[in-house]
Amino acid sequence: MIDVRPFATLGHADHGWLDARHHFSFANYHDSARMGWGSIRVWNDDTIAARSGFPPHSHSDMEIVTFVRTGAITHQDSLGNKGRTAAGDVQVMSAGTGITHAEFNVEDEATTLFQIWIVPDRRGEAPSWGQREFPRASREGGFEVLASGAPEADAALSIRTDAKIAAATLRAGQSATWTTSGGRHQYLVAPKGRIRVNGVEAQARDGVAVTGEGQITVEALEDAEVVLVDAR
C-alpha–C-alpha distance, residues 212 and 196, integer Å: 17
- pLDDT for the residue numbered 64: 98
Residues 122 and 85: their CA atoms lie apart, in Å, by 26
Q: What is the pLDDT of residue 10?
A: 98
| Whole-angstrom distance, CA of residue 104 vs CA of residue 94 | 19
Low-confidence ranges of the chain (pLDDT < 50): none
The pLDDT value recorded for residue 195 is: 98
pLDDT digits (tens, 9 = 90+) for 11-30: 999 999 999 999 999 999 99
d(CA 201, CA 203): 7
pLDDT of residue 165: 98
Q: What is the pLDDT, as a whole number, of residue 115? A: 98
Query: What is the structure's pLDDT at 137?
Result: 80
The predicted model scores a pTM of 0.97
Helix, strand, or coil here: 138? helix
Bridge partner list, 52: 105
Q: Helix, strand or coil for residue 150?
A: coil
Residues contacting 14, CB < 8 A, separation 6+:
20
Give 206-216 pLDDT, tens digit per residue: 999 999 999 99
User: Looking at residue 84, what is its pLDDT?
Assistant: 97
Walk me through the domains of the chain, giving residue ranges and CATH numbers.
2-231 (2.60.120.10)
